[in-house]
Structure 1
Amino acid sequence: MKNKVLIKILQVMVAAVLVFSLYGCGAQKSARSETSTANQAAKSEGMMMDTATGTAVREEVARPESPNVNTDVGYNRKMIKTGELQLQTKDFKKSVEDIVAKVQSLEGYVENSNIQGSNFYNNYQNTRSASLVVRIPQKHFDAFINQSSEFGNVVYTTSNSTDITSEYVDTEIRLKSLKTRHERLLVLLEQTGSLKDLFTIEQELGQVTYEIEKLSGTLQQYDQLVDMSTINISIEEVFKIEESRPIITFGDKINDTFKESIKGLKRLLEGFVLIIVAVIPFLILIVPSAIIIIVLSKRFKKNSKVKAQRSEEDK
């Protein structure tokens, strides 16, 4: 009887292990599919997957130096220069501090900054990033853009020049005309003796003064935009730097395939261990329950035999 009981317990345990193994394999296959999909999406966006955390991070690749850009205009024009710069770096803190120090050394300033740190409660957000809006004198615009590789890997740069010479000249002409009109109204205000004319001139003088202040503010804004160029800077932290390989040889393919096989074997072993760990809590519940059921079944059969024997004796 003891052997039968042990056999039944083993059968229950094996059945439970098979069920949860199939469940674990399905979960692992699903996770592997999601990881593969994430890898493909990451590669299409020029990113890499961190196998330790499963996080998609942009891969920092050493590229040839970017060509220098010259946006200077050789004649007198009113130009508003704006630029955009995206960087990747392994030393996030140093890159941000170096950029701020460089901007200040060029007599510029940081107009706006947004820094996002890592999230300890979210494994999928373990990199830092920063967005800076800096203003630097226009004479240093090209030098700053062309030297941006000092702060990290340059993903891309853009520069735009907007010619506002016509708008600036038109505003100057209108302002000059309004100032002349303002002086004439002041002369008329001193010469008039009628209260009605005085009220009309003062009302018109107030409107002209308002327009003069408005156009003066517009010219000041133009001057600020022309004198101080605007650059939007995005900084992203990455974990790995890989040199670009323009030619992939057959040996490189063998090496990459072998590395991928090792990684696959490692993931398989990790998945097997995780399945065993996942099954243990269920076995803790199933085994005692199976033992109780078997003991109760054994007692029930024993009681049934006793009752049957008594009934035969009574006959």
Structure 2
Amino acid sequence: MALKSLYILALVLTVSYCSSQKQDSASIHYHEGGRTGSSYSSGESSGKLPSDGPRIQDITKSSGLTLQKGILAGFSNQPSLTNTSTKLIKKVNITLVIKDYTSWKRKLIQFVEIGGAYISSSRLDVSSNTYKSGSIVIRVPKEQLDGLLDQIKTLGKLTSENIQSDDITGKYTDLKARIHNKKLTETRFQEILKGKASKTTDILAVEKELGRIREEIDRMTRQLNRYDQLVDFSTITLYFRESEEKRVEGESFWVHLRENIAWALNQGLEGLLGVINGIIIFLIAGIPVWIVLYFGRKYLIKWLRKRKETKS
């Protein structure tokens, strides 16, 4: 009976030892640029580089380079995707019918400035019957979006409204992870340059690859900043047109005449300024010619006088 108990105890200890060995030799996977790389052992005795494409393998095999433990450990410090808050890009399209463009625009600018927003672009069209219409694109902090929309709606008659929310949380977190992994790869190559890279060909290959990785990091960082800007500032595209009531209430022959005279004066003034601008450019561009003609004339007169005196 005692012998049987000892046999069972030995069997339990053997199973426990094998289980612990499997846990110690668990492989670590890394993710770079959306691709899953080859796994490598987390034990200190391995000293092998993770697979990072043929260029890295060729360089490390030819020079026998190894990475420091700190670099390998960095791959376990992946950014937590669960900590990223929801990233929404909000776009709003609204259409308003307004009475008078001038006073409406003045009030709109006041609301925009109070809300910490800004006008990124605008377009104004004037039809043959002097109706004004167009569009204005406003960038507003996401916290102020609802308040600014409510204020804008008070400036005219709302005819249409469309709100669109684009969830880019997945794209955002994936891009952050790719940047993180690219930076780890950059650090690995920096360690190679500082370490055992002695051959000129290896050094040039590492520097070339390092430059390519840095370009990718810069490109992805710019895209991440673009995402941040689109998330932090919502976009309002405001379409507007003047109401026909304006024409019915105030239009007359004299209003037409005044607008036509103002338009003609404006066109005439622009033409006059264009002529003056052309004359100034002509005079400035001709300065060298005027100088040559002036001194040439003086020299010619002096030469003719000397010739006349010689003959006499």
TM (normalized to structure 2)? 0.50
**Greater relative contact order structure (CA < 8 Å, 6+ sep):** 1
Q: TM-score, normalised by structure 1?
A: 0.49
